[in-house]
Chain A
Amino acid sequence: MFLIDLHSITQKKTHESISNRLALVMKSGKYTLAYKTVLGSLRSSKGKLIIIANNCPPLRKSEIEYYAMLAKVGVHHYNGNNVDLGTACGKYFRVSCLSIVDPGWYTLGSNFPSGFCAKMCAV
């Protein structure tokens, strides 16, 4: 008898949808990659959603979260490390945190960032 690993299947499914959404933002929207620019976008209150990879050093992660808390901006913890996040962004380098400034075509669909993240969080 097969033992279907439902959990991993659902994980993979939402993971794919995350990548699709990110790809859409990469193609049509505005974003900044990496720690320095993420903080910059938070300070100037331009960022709308922050995505942090799971192997981001905890001090840096909590610093970004603190800034995001002050700026009332959502933070999403990406289910993958910086290599995966870089690949998801379509880049050939590692990305440990990124900030979405303008979601581009994604805004036409549902509201951002809740719609973006709802599927991500619903694992």
Chain B
Amino acid sequence: MGLKSERSVFLIFKISKLLCYSPETLTTNTSTEGEGESEGAKMVKFLKPNKAVIVLQGRYAGRKAVIVRSFDDGTRDRPYGHCLVAGIKKYPSKVIRKDSTKKAARKSRVKCFVKLVNYRHLMPTRYTLDVDLKDVVSGDCLQSKDKKVSAARETKKRFEERFKTGKNKWFFTKLRF
């Protein structure tokens, strides 16, 4: 138990170092926010689809994932805020110029997972990944093993496409901790 909690704390430590924001801009928020009465209602929900998050607990701790669908008020089975995430189980390796096309293809493989995760076990980041996964990863895809496997396979395809375009580099790099 102690080992698990240590690991997640260490994860958060590494995450805070890597998420690179400047604390100054945060504390001056209070003075710049005073632009009229409407600002009081301007709270932003950030646990929305396409948000990149880092899973903090469980087998996939330390892996980056994307929120596909969020259930803020929970469901009957899970009476807490949680979301359906699609994440990377195995990151693609670094592809260098010297690699042959066969090797490059092998190195750019991404292994994915689909999971329902409690909000508490996620660390939201400022990054987003707009890969359309809504049709692939639907509400019922976790009900049977084959549906789960096929959903993971589809997301793998989409993630690999995205990786090959070279965009969202942060998402496809392993979080070192």
A interface, CB within 8 angstroms of B:
39, 43-49, 59, 62-63, 65-77, 107, 111-115, 117-118, 120-121
Knowing A59-B13, A63-B12, A114-B39 are in contact, say whether A43-B33 is a contact too (CB < 8 A).
no
Please report whether the interface of chain A is mostly helix, strand, loop or mixed according to DSSP.
helix
Q: Does B79 sit at the interface, judged by CB under 8 A?
A: no
Knowing A45-B44, A59-B12, A59-B16 are in contact, say whether A74-B30 is a contact too (CB < 8 A).
yes
Question: A112–B44 contact, CB under 8 A?
Answer: no
Knowing A43-B119, A59-B16, A63-B12 are in contact, say whether A69-B40 is a contact too (CB < 8 A).
no
Question: B46–A68 contact, CB under 8 A?
Answer: no
B interface, CB within 8 angstroms of A:
9, 12-13, 16, 19, 21, 23, 25-27, 29-31, 33-37, 39-40, 42-47, 72, 81, 119-120, 124, 126
Task: Using CB atoms, name the residue of chain B closest to A64.
Answer: B26
For B40, list chain A residues within 8 Å (CB): 48, 107, 111-113
Knowing A44-B72, A66-B21, A70-B124 are in contact, say whether A114-B43 is a contact too (CB < 8 A).
no
Question: B81–A114 contact, CB under 8 A?
Answer: no
Question: B46–A70 contact, CB under 8 A?
Answer: yes
Question: A47–B21 contact, CB under 8 A?
Answer: no
Knowing A62-B16, A111-B34 are in contact, say whether A73-B43 is a contact too (CB < 8 A).
yes
Knowing A45-B45, A69-B21, A75-B26 are in contact, say whether A111-B37 is a contact too (CB < 8 A).
yes
